[in-house]
Chains A and B, each alone.
Chain A
Amino acid sequence: MSEAATPSALSVGDRLRQLPHSGRALARTADIDTRLVGLLAALAIIWIGFNVATGGSFLTARNLWNLSVQSASIAIMATGMVLVIVSRNIDLSVGSMLGFIGYTMAMAQTTWLPEAFGLGLGHPVIWIATVILGIVLGLGMGLLQGFVIAYGFIPSFIVTLGGLLVWRGLIFQYAQGQTIAPLDTTFRLLGGGPQGSLGEWGSWALGLIAVAIVIAGLLLLRRRQAKYGFQVRPVWATVVLGIVAAVVILGAVWVTTAYPWPENLANQYAQQHGLEIPPGGFIIPTGIAYPVLITIGVAIVMTHLAERRRFGRNVYAIGGNPQAAELSGINTKRTIMLVFGVMGLLAGVSAIVQTARLNAAVTGLGVTNELDVISAAVIGGTSFIGGIGTIPGAVLGAVVMQSLRSGMVQLRVDSPTQDIVVGIVLVAAVGFDAWLRRRST
């Protein structure tokens, strides 16, 4: 084993020199992603700024809960867009794919499954079959585009620009401008809303499980690193990280449970269940919304895929140096195709969330979503140079974007001005990132 790396081999002077001197050194010692911390700081500034500007109506449980639900669909796709951009590609078709998949799912649950398969409206199989259909369809569409890109040697910009037009055109062709609504009552819950949430106890239970998993993960990492005699994160850093994670997770749960169901809905529920309505009104905590739950699940799976799996490692290698990746025996074509497959699958997941939330499929579903998704990934630190970008960063990027939009709506900023602000923020964020990168090397 590498005895040189064990702390005991270090002299006192070495140890002193290892003490952190600056913020950056501190972050390095604690093994923290500075970029992510910066993004969190930016988000905090935005939130506090809007809270002051709106006279305290931004940082309310109700608004934050809404923000979490509104961010979900873009955040889900942004996690896939990170891998696409990291591999030096782009996917302009996600909005149209989402629309097409959403439309197909709406047809399936309102017409095909109940009538052609004779299940009848509201049958429990319907929502499950619809969800599977959406995911499989998305995967297939993504793989098809990926195949053309990787094996047809056509730039992804062109192929997905074509996709943007083709999928949208197909919606218009077979929907003929019609809106499909309402959707299956169970399916609808996947879009959030009071009933489409975990509720008080479920949310707390999930929060506690999450805290336990984070702590176990931190300890497991220490043990694995120690096993090889590597430099381990200092104990204080592990403890602080653990506490911060616990506070953030439980704080988020607390916020979602502090948002009660709307009064009339709660009273209705109480009447249905024969419960007495207290003088202050019947209060049911909402808890974590299902779309948010889906987003968290997607983010965890995608982070795992990106950082802990061969596939992800290979995607980053391709982005860093495509030639080196090819020469090292990585099947770059297949990897690229799979990246687009994953992107399509996530467009399917987002389609579920968006149609369920709208309780309808409209022909304009997902229009310009590709721009929001790309912006979220880029604000989250994904670089068009390739090889650089993180999944949590992209999720935060989506939340930053949605916060800006939502805050401006509350300040009654008109839609064109919103676009102008978001556009400037996007360019400024990338410029700032590039400036930081130049300085650090």
Chain B
Amino acid sequence: MSAVPESSERTQPPLSAEGYLVEMRDISVSFGGVHAVNDVTINLRPGEVLGLVGGNGAGKSTLMKVLSGAQVPDSGQILIGGTAASIHNPRDARTYGIECIYQTLALADNLDAPANVFLGRELVQRTGVLDDPAMEDATRRLMKRLNPRFENFRSAVESLSGGQRQSVAIARAIQFNATILIMDEPTAALGPAETAQVRDLIRQLKTEGLGIFLISHDIHDVFDLADRISVMYHGRIVDTVDKDQVTTDEILGMIILGKKPGDATREELDAFRIAG
């Protein structure tokens, strides 16, 4: 029935020979003549947070839409645990353990937390009747782990705070044994306390062995949470670097100039410093 995996019983997902959970190879997506994503290769290990940064229209969200099945790529290959995956829609993605937490939250505001957590995958009794108590119970147990102060299990989520709504969205993502999490601006709509709460949550999911793609405009979010950072610029990856080996300035430079620190000219760097 309601299988809420405790952290210890989370099944280990298969990995590729190099230890990758996900490999996206040579992915391209174009809209009309515009290359939204241009020949991008990116990968993710279990227990790793990969920060995806870049200006507006750099292609971060489109790249992640490809992984979550919301966008079919023109070319390229996705490998999950070392084997080729065919992802054509969100349902496909889910069968590979990929869950997405969208910028706009994607909750049904008129329903309560359990109904949202189990949206599209409702638990039913043998007679086909919804098993609301079981769904509420599973949600309560999940929330005890994610957000112990959460207690509004029977009111419509529209009446909840931003942070509480975000925990409902995250609960929904991890309820079904997700191994790969895509978070698109998870703290964009939140206040400082709620942001801290969500950051704690991400750290916890990381220790449980999930691989997380984190899209964020907030460079502090990224530096706080990510192990590696990929910078995108006009549909391409500028560079993927270990967080410990870069400074925020270097990342900002890559976001704005679209070049690695070594490749930028004196003038460009000076201009950037003045602008920054």
Are B144 and A2 in contact, with the CB atoms below 8 A? yes
When chains A and B are docked, how far (Å) is the Cα of A255 from the Cα of B124?
A: 40
Interface residues of A in 304-321 (CB under 8 A from B): 304, 307-310, 313-314, 316-317, 319-321
Residue among B128, B133, B172 facing the most chain A CB atoms (10 A cut-off):
B133
Are A319 and B110 in contact, with the CB atoms below 8 A? yes
Are B106 and A317 in contact, with the CB atoms below 8 A? no
When chains A and B are docked, how far (Å) is the Cα of A251 from the Cα of B119?
A: 41
Are A316 and B111 in contact, with the CB atoms below 8 A? yes
Query: Is there a chain B Cβ closer than 8 Å to A47's Cβ?
Result: no
Are A320 and B133 in contact, with the CB atoms below 8 A? no
Q: Is the interface of A mostly helix, strand, loop or mixed?
A: helix
Are B141 and A2 in contact, with the CB atoms below 8 A? yes
Query: Is there a chain B Cβ closer than 8 Å to A22's Cβ?
Result: no
Query: Is there a chain B Cβ closer than 8 Å to A23's Cβ?
Result: no
Interface string of B62-102 (1 = CB under 8 A from A): 00000000100000000000000000001100100000101
Are A328 and B133 in contact, with the CB atoms below 8 A? no
Are A329 and B111 in contact, with the CB atoms below 8 A? no
Are A327 and B70 in contact, with the CB atoms below 8 A? yes
Residues of B within 8 A of A329 (CB): 90-91, 94, 120-121
Known: A2-B141, A308-B129. A328 touches B120 (CB 8 A): yes
Query: Is there a chain B Cβ closer than 8 Å to A387's Cβ?
Result: yes
Interface locus among A171-179, A221-229, A414-422? A221-229
Known: A309-B129, A330-B119, A330-B120. A323 touches B106 (CB 8 A): yes
Are A308 and B130 in contact, with the CB atoms below 8 A? yes
Interface string of A1-29 (1 = CB under 8 A from B): 11001000000000000000000000000
Residues of B within 8 A of A310 (CB): 122, 124, 128, 130
Query: Is there a chain A Cβ closer than 8 Å to B109's Cβ?
Result: yes
Closest to B91 in A: A329
When chains A and B are docked, how far (Å) is the Cα of A228 from the Cα of B104?
A: 33
Query: Is there a chain B Cβ closer than 8 Å to A128's Cβ?
Result: no
Residues of A within 8 A of B130 (CB): 307-310, 313
* Interface band, chain B: 20 to 34
Query: Is there a chain B Cβ closer than 8 Å to A441's Cβ?
Result: yes
Query: Is there a chain B Cβ closer than 8 Å to A324's Cβ?
Result: yes
Residues of B within 8 A of A316 (CB): 108, 110-111
Query: Is there a chain B Cβ closer than 8 Å to A254's Cβ?
Result: no
Known: A2-B144, A310-B124, A317-B111. A327 touches B106 (CB 8 A): yes
Interface string of A328-357 (1 = CB under 8 A from B): 111000000000000000000000000000
Query: Is there a chain B Cβ closer than 8 Å to A388's Cβ?
Result: yes
Are B109 and A387 in contact, with the CB atoms below 8 A? yes
Which residues of A pack against B, CB within 8 Å? Answer: 1-2, 5, 224-225, 227-228, 230, 304, 307-310, 313-314, 316-317, 319-321, 323-330, 386-388, 441
Which residues of B pack against A, CB within 8 Å? Answer: 70, 90-91, 94, 100, 102, 104-111, 115, 119-122, 124, 128-130, 133-134, 136-137, 140-141, 144, 158-159, 172
A227-B133, A316-B108, A329-B120 given; name 16 further pairs at CB < 8 Å.
A2-B137, A2-B144, A308-B130, A309-B130, A310-B122, A310-B128, A317-B108, A317-B119, A320-B109, A321-B108, A321-B109, A327-B106, A328-B172, A329-B121, A387-B110, A387-B111
